[in-house]
Structure 1
Amino acid sequence: MDLSYSEEQLLLKDSVSRFVARSYEFNRRRDNLHSSLGYSAENWALFAELGWLMIPFDEEDGGLGGSAVDLMILMEEFGKGLVVEPFLATTVLAGGLVAALGSDRQKGDYLSPVIDGAMQLAACYIEPDSRYCLSRVTTKAVRDGGGYVISGKKCVVLNGGHAENYLVVARTSGDSNDQSGISCFIVPNGVSGLSVDNYRMNDGVPAADLVFTDVRVPESSVLGAIGDGFKALESVVARATFAACAESVGIMDELLNKTVEYTKTRKQFGVPISSFQALQHRMVDMFIACEQSRSMLLMAACELDQGSESSLKAVSATKARVGQAARLVGQEAVQIHGGIGITDELDISHYFKRLTSIENLFGSVDYHVGRYMSA
């Protein structure tokens, strides 16, 4: 099997790499993260101009028809720079739901502006007691006249504070754990009855908890067929999980490289600590973990691109392995750097925080091990 990148993929990798090197100096990135938006609007417009926001979508939807490998390349490079722009939240997650379920009119109204960089979306599917289970939906959408009334709570909504529209997963029929009866609605930010509580996660990325109290939406807000949204949600979240794994691999690569470089310059007893055999063994373990994660990522990319029935299983296997590797690589990087490794002034701590957040995003290691076994 030929696992080498095509010429177009090499150009994409080079383009993103040059952007990170040129525009994502650590202090500038930290300033963007601490701004009111939590990212740079200028960078987001540049993403649209360069066509990166088109990559996950089919050509008939106005995208580039990018493969899972294309998405992997993009997210790995984003991980190396700790890119904070809401590509995962708006483009992969929320945009993916519109692409999977939306009508032509809805795609024109919501997907095209996302591709152009003119609209921010957020996917609301996690609930306080769902524990990663996508079918555990208690938020209700009740038919009322010519529309629906939505009531319930959603948590950890990525980009929730700045989205202009929300993709809300709600139950229109069935019990709280049924896969059938799950529907998706487009709800504008600021609608009556919607409460948004903004906060920052451990890695500084903005998120929000949303409370829907008798929020009324028209019939036209329904995405896809009523009660038939679970499979699309499962597929989109699997692709987002894969994208997060690719970001983790990029972060781990950067932590390994920075740690090796540090040990070559840091001296004890008059010699670089890279000469200490115990540290060499630990860095070899970091390298092996990175390479194993990349191999799993490539396997999942192939499964996703082939549309294999085992693609969900492959994504769970990848998420579990990457999560285990992320903990090892992150902790070793911090420990080898010593006390300075946990300070806000050093980028190592920020890479570690992001890895820790991703480890619990879209399901923990234990969750995906169990999901893999049950599959």
Structure 2
Amino acid sequence: MRTRVGIVGAGPAGLMLAHLLRLAGIDSVVLERRSREYVEKRVRAGVLEHPTVELLRETGAGERLDREGLPHHGFALRFDGVDHRVDLSGLTGHPITVYGQQEVVKDLIALRLAAGEPLLFDVSDVALHDLTTDAPRITWRGADGTAQELTCDVVAGCDGFHGVARQSIPQSVLTIFERAYPFAWLGVLARTAPSADELIYTYHERGFALHSMRSPEITRLYLQVPPEEDIADWSDARIWDELSARLATRDGFTLTSGPILDKGVTPMRSFVAEPLRHGRLFLAGDAAHIVPPTGAKGMNLAIADVRLLARAVEEFVRNKDERLLDSYSADCLKRVWRAEHFSWWMTSMLHLAPDADPFDRRLQLAQLRYTAASDPARTSLAENYVGLAYERL
């Protein structure tokens, strides 16, 4: 097989890159080790930045998003038992949109298959070869076990943190920046109407909690727990009791409970691998960087990456101009490190470290009170949360 761009991974990064390339008339092949059913049901992020929403709309991938997505014009910082609203639209002119990552994936898969473009699920033994040549190769076994090989001009590694793409780069070439946090999120998906119209980020003496949603019928909630926490120790009743305790307010906020459809514990880390390029291999999304979920940046960063990569590939294919390919890593990293800082800042402000003493907690409350009361501080928070315009970076 021969194609212009071989894409490893059918998450938001890989699928969006394939979509952008198709619109530019550039052929690609997408390989995914999981089944289509698994990929479309994988519960991940749910907040889309304004620039992400605009890009999906502009490229014809926003029809269902506009019908079913939930625009949010603000969110609450809850501490001292009181809500302090951050008016996103009032401060920036733009909302965010709650629309699950798996829904974006479904939309992009449907567009790809409707166009008759190659999207191969259930592949195995993926390996990358000749990355520093002009004709890199990808080998794999298909769903039927048959050995396959693809030669291309460019390989896009969009296969996540544990994928083969980054592991195919010599460790001596990469510089790794990493921070593990001393807490995790216990996340639940519940079949119940949300208890509030907007997201609630809660600082509480028992630990952080987040009230979010996926639809008018499905609520997404999170609790801060130790990284080694065993989900088996958390019955549904215990989860609802703890959420009710942490989300309580002075004016009697009521948390609506319901059947829990899914629950799990996710450790939190910050991670960046530099550079995002090795020869003709380009990393995008979680293959290159991880952020704590507090700032809702992961999927948005992945889509910002491939927006730049698609433009660079188009210049390379149409005009034999490699300048954007050469600057891809540096251009992406500007946004990546801004998002890393914002996500670290929100995480540090809202979570209780196991070794936090009363001094640390007073500092956190001082930062929260200042952020809630200061117009410039709220504006900075809102601007970063809504998403910096692409041209700004």
Whether the TM-score (by the shorter chain) exceeds 0.5 is no
When you count helix as a share of all residues, which structure comes out higher? 1
Q: Specify which structure has the bigger relative contact order, considering alpha-carbon pairs within 8 angstroms and separated by 6 or more residues.
A: 2
TM-score, normalised with respect to structure 1: 0.27
TM-score, normalised with respect to structure 2: 0.26
